[in-house]
Structure 1
Amino acid sequence: MTAQPAASTAAHLEQRLLFEVGQHSCAGVKSVNEDAIGIRIPVDSLLTTKGAAAVIADGVSAAEAGQEASQSSVTSFLSDYFSTPEAWSVRHSVQQVLTALNRWLYRNGQHLPDSGKGFLTTFSAVVFKSQHAHLFHVGDSRIYRFREGQLEQLTQDHAVPVGNGQTYLSRALGLDVRLDVDYQRLPLEQGDLFLLTTDGVHDPLTHQELVQWAKREDLTLEARCEQLNAAALAAGSQDNLSSQMLRIVSLPRPEMDEVVEKLTELRFPPFLNEGDVLDGLRIERELHASNRSQVYLVRDVDSSQQYCMKTPSVNFEDDPAYIERFVMESWIGSRIHSPYVVRVLEPPRPRSCLYYLTEYVAGMSLAQWMREHPRPAVEEVVYLADQVAKGLRAMHRRETLHQDLKPDNILIDRQGQVKLIDFGSCRVAGIDEIATPLQRDHVLGTATYAAPEYHVGAGIDARADLFSLAVICFEMLTGTLPFQGRLEHCRNAREFLSTTYTPSYQINPLVPQWIDGALRKAMRFHPERRHGDVAEFVHELHKPNPGYLAFHQRPLLERDPVRTWKLIAIGLGLLELLTLVLLLD
């Protein structure tokens, strides 16, 4: 299949992953070939962000639509996988595609006269991205790897023997509305040879015979696949025959000098003052400055359109990791499409130096709004939190974590519309899979709002952004930070767990107890005890959770046993002291 054009990624990530490939499929002794095979190696930036893929499927002969199932699975996968967002990880992308594909096959199978024999097929795929192979498998087609003279079967057959040499598939695409797919992620080495076969090939041949065909160097991979199928047919195969071979010719191993050269193709912009013109953009005023970047309001001299221009700080002119992160900011922002996230825009003219443009949002930051509204109505806080959550959900759907959610990074325009800004700390699953010689600069967000897992080394997921949102909501409702503002001073699990949560309704009596219950849950130390996502959290801000109301009606000993025993200890101590005083008198 031919590669489709795609938006280019940052030039420094584009690395060479080269293959030698071959494949062959035939009906064998059968009149119809129900196998399907396909390989897609993009020729553009998709090879970097999505990788290359090889797929093999064997339509179940006993099913009524096995041929259609296998062909649709291969064709749809090679199209749909490369259409998923570039920010998604390989595993998430494939899971989404296969889930939809399986439901389509299952639903169509239910419309056939015999719903037990419908659109069924085995499915095995390898996605090669950067320096790893990602394997996905269901059924009894197989994936092998030949390395240093050894042939290793990487997949396990989902076939159950029923006697007389017969088996039935315990797992297949289209068999059940629920899909269980085996997944592996393996490091690649130059020279690795991957062999994919259907059971018509590997069943009649011994393992050693497969090894001999993997070793053959006198034939092209295409010819080798064709003759391997012929050997299986000669060995008595009674099924369709399909095989694929892919050899890793070279892996993307960029040298540091090459990466730095690409990153520094654009120079840092000069120091900019009001009235200066850069690439046809006039500087109107500085909006923000820090030790890491500057943000200016600029106007196009021809169209008069206003933009925000973000420029890197000269403090990091010789720091490749910082430059990579700055370059990636515009790439990340351009792939998030939501009215609640600021838009990254293409410059009207070619850039002469390093910067990027976003839409200009006339309004104020949430930090300024909080100063002007020290005790806002609860409804206003929920309204703003709802919009922030929608922006976060748009990012999370792209497997992108904001990681620096704070009032200064939330803008409110003059119509009350919220916009999330600043992609400088974002983590993108799809980009993290791409190898680089740089020690990536994972910038930690502001400690005041950061989730504990950033400090204790736990896994980071979308619930970290949820934690930050809950801290911001607490601050809006009470004018103070949760845990008496001690979060920014905690550096390990013990320090976090020693903090004391003061309910928001004790500080602001207008806060309903059920809203505080949602806040408390979203700020749990352990991520698994928080809400599943920001949507669930916001739902509880809108709709009272009876569990939180019942919680406050329970005895103090059940709600807070530690506090209860502290109070009992204090009481006993005071009683003992009073007794002692009376005895002395």
Structure 2
Amino acid sequence: MNNKLTLDIGQHSSAGLKAENQDSCGARLPEEPQLAMKGAAFAIADGISSSPVSAVASETAVKSFLDDYYCTSDSWSVAHAAKQVLRATNAWLHGQTHQSPYRFDRDKGYVCTFSAMIIKGIEAHLFHLGDSRIYRLRRGTLEQLTHDHRLWQGEQNSYLSRALGAQPQLDIDYRRVSLEAGDLFVLSTDGVHEFLSQPTLIEHLQQHADCLDKAAKTLVAAALANGSNDNLTVQLVRIRNLPAPVLEPLEHAGTLPLPPILKSGDVFDGYIIEREIHASSRSHVYLACDQTSGSRAILKTPSIDLSEDPAHLQRLLMEEWVARRVNSAHVVRAAVSRRPRRFLYTAMEVVEGQTLRQWMTDNPQPNLETVRGIVEQVARGLQALHRAEILHQDLRPENIMISHAGTVTLIDLGSARVAGIAETADENGQLILGTALYSAPEYFLGDQGTIRSDLFSLAVLTYYLLSGEFPYGTQVARCSTVAAQHKLRYRSVLSESRAIPAWIDATLKKALQPNPLRRHEALSEFVYELRHPNPEYRIATRPPLMERYPVRFWQSVSGILLLVIVYLLSLISSTT
């Protein structure tokens, strides 16, 4: 069975009756593994006829999209990567217009319509601006998947309400659609679809289904015959075969055999094993020395018990895959090795020091400033992951190293969720990968995590560093419904034995809200509030006037009562 994405592609573009073709189109179908990681990309653009430079705009838009998209991080989702590229292109086109003689006339600037489609895994991702279109022909029915950004003034006059390069800020339509084998996608400019009815489009597509290039040329010719006076471009993409949902972080990993159980002194794949660090039912961890460079590395091999579990093997490989794509002093790095591997394992750089769990045993009552320093470094590591659209998902003291100099490093990235890979993976019924005591409540509802989920885990870690306890005890893991989570009651971190300001407790309480929408919006906001009192918290936690100034309070009350008595006596005397 063929598990690879297989496509048929055809396209044709013509100037039509005009002297210049201001349309542009292009496609990119990379080889594996890039096809699985980034997908196949298609783009079509139509320059506005009133602009003498719109041909440059449409050509630049298509070329930069197809070139730059494949230069983005593999960890990014399709939507994030494509939008970043389009924002950069939009800024360049808009900047070129402002530097030209037509800076005050958008209709003569570097402006074009733009529609693109990226097919990755079993989904198509659509991006659209203007009045070019994307259709899908499925089982004889043609469906328009995009919406024309055109405003009509009367029956004859209209203008584009959105286009690439028209405004400094980009407002682009994005849509995801599921795929079926046999789906035929049609990308066209208005010179084609405004002069062909949908039945005519279907008829020509079905007549030339065996050759998409011929079908594209036939559609262009039919539109010209029907009176089209514009440039004409058609791009056709047919889904011949869809891949099975897979997750393969390392190329050819599925073909590598499992390593044997290793012991001190063994020579393994170019490494000398120094000693075993840890062994469990999930994996074996070894300290090793590279025979070529002399550098030390941490090797992790899968346990025999889970050797037949593809998901476990993929998560193990994910750790090194992520480490190679994140550059931060607070995230573990992958070991440098240029040798081809003969076995399935991961190799990471050695992080000197001790786990945060051991550090907490040695320092059972750290002061607030020390806790702030640790949490801030953990947050920097998480932020580096989040910039790459990666969630850690298993933040706990055992997965954090702290050196003798106080440098904090996140390790064990095997539970990370990578947006770019998750798009092609089957996540139905996904297990909770993190440790229950530190996991955000939404995971127990079956929801996917967000940045605020890692924030919750960081806040639990902060709470635990300050108190040695957990904000909801063990109750979070037992709450599998929203109603049950509403009954959770936060336990204040304040205690007579701890010198912790009340506003710190308020900061933690917000970050630890069961509802993720009620937490801080960003890690930086939480970290900032650990050092800077939020005025809202200070007002909310401020003791009442009677507690702050009891003598003055009762003096004031007595004074008011005296005035009331005097007033009442005066009323009595005036009536007698």
The offset of 1:519, in angstroms, is 1.5
Could you tell me how far apart the structure 1 residues matched to 2:13 and 2:443 are?
Answer: 50
Q: Deviations over 1:239-298 (max 9, x none)?
A: 111111111222214899x99xx7653332222222222223222222223321121111
- What one-letter code is carried by the residue in structure 2 that aligns with 1:336? V
After the TM superposition, which of the residue ranges 233-242 and 45-54 deviates more from structure 2?
233-242
Q: State how many pairs are aligned.
A: 539
Q: Percent identity?
A: 46
Asked whether 1:455 is paired with 2:444, we answer yes
Counterpart check, 1:378 vs 2:364: no
Give the one of 35, 43, 53 matched to 2:41.
53
Unmatched segments (≥5 aa) in structure 1: 1-13, 557-585
| Aligned residues: CA RMSD | 2.6
Q: CA deviation at 1:76?
A: 0.9
2:417 & 2:228 partners in 1: Cα distance?
50
SS of residue paired to 2:289: strand
Distance 1:252 1:122 in 2: 31
Query: Where does residue 538 of structure 1 map in the other structure?
Result: 527
Structure 1 stretch displaced more, 298-307 or 106-115:
106-115
Counterpart AA for 1:457: G
CA 412–249 in structure 1, closer or farther in 2 if over 3 Å, else same: same
* CA distance 1:232–1:356, change in 2 (3 Å): same
The 2-side partners of 1:218 and 1:473 are apart by 62
CA deviations over 1:30-55 (Å, ceiling 9, x no partner): 22222111111112311101100111
**Of residues 109, 133, 151 in structure 1, which corresponds to 2:97?**
109
Matches within 5 A, 1:158-557: 158-217=149-208, 220-253=211-244, 265-347=255-337, 349-435=339-425, 442-484=431-473, 486-506=475-495, 509-553=498-542
Alpha-carbon distance in 1 for matches of 2:476, 2:183: 49
C-alpha contact 1:381 1:476 (8 A) present in aligned 2: yes
Of the structure 1 ranges 443-452 and 497-506, higher mean CA displacement relative to structure 2 is found in 497-506
Query: How do 1:34-45 and structure 2 match up within 5 A?
Result: 34-45=22-33
Q: CA deviation at 1:72?
A: 1.4
SS of structure 2 residue aligned to 1:474 = helix
Secondary structure of residue in 2 paired with 1:242: strand
Aligned match of 2:4: 16
In the alignment, structure 2 segments of 5+ residues that lack a partner are 546-576
Question: 2:441 and 2:416 mapped to 1: Cα distance?
Answer: 17
Q: Could you say if the C-alpha distance between residues 99 and 304 of structure 1 is closer, same or farther in structure 2, counting changes exceeding 3 Å?
A: same
Partners of 1:493 and 1:247 in 2: CA distance: 43
Shift in Å at residue 530 of structure 1? 0.8
Distance 1:525 1:363, change over 3 A: same
- Contact kept in structure 1, 2:135 and 2:144, CA below 8 Å: yes
Cα distance in 2 between the residues matched to 1:519 and 1:254: 39
TM-score by length of 1: 0.86
Tell me, yes or no, if the aligned pair for 1:123 and 1:173 is still in contact at 8 Å.
yes
- Pair 1:90-2:44 in alignment: no
SS, match of residue 262 in structure 2: coil
Letter in 2 for 1:405: L
The answer on whether the counterparts of 2:253 and 2:344 sit within 8 Å (CA) in structure 1 is no
* Counterparts of 1:505 and 1:36, CA distance in 2: 64
Q: CA offsets, 1:313-362, max 9 Å, x none?
A: 11112222222322333222222222111011244643332211100011
SS for the counterpart of 2:166 is coil
Question: What residue identity is the alignment partner of 2:211?
Answer: T
Identify which range, 65-74 or 463-472, moves more after superposition.
Answer: 65-74
Equivalent residue, structure 1, for 2:63: 75
C-alpha distance after superposition, 1:212-240 (max 9, x if no partner) = 22112277322322232222122211211
Between 1:500-509 and 1:406-415, the stretch displaced more is 500-509
Q: How big is the shift at 1:441?
A: 5.8
Q: Is the contact made by 1:285 and 1:298 (CA closer than 8 Å) also made in structure 2?
A: yes
Tell me how far apart the structure 1 counterparts of residues 473 and 126 of structure 2 sit (CA, whole Å).
Answer: 48
Q: Which deviates the most, 486-495 or 118-127? A: 486-495
Amino acid at match of 1:472: L
Q: TM-score, normalised by structure 2?
A: 0.87
How far off its partner does 1:64 sit? 5.3
**Cα pair 2:315 2:414 within 8 Å, conserved:** yes
For the 8 Å contact 2:182–2:238, the answer to whether it is kept is yes
CA apart distance, 1:486: 4.0
Q: CA deviation at 1:60?
A: 1.9
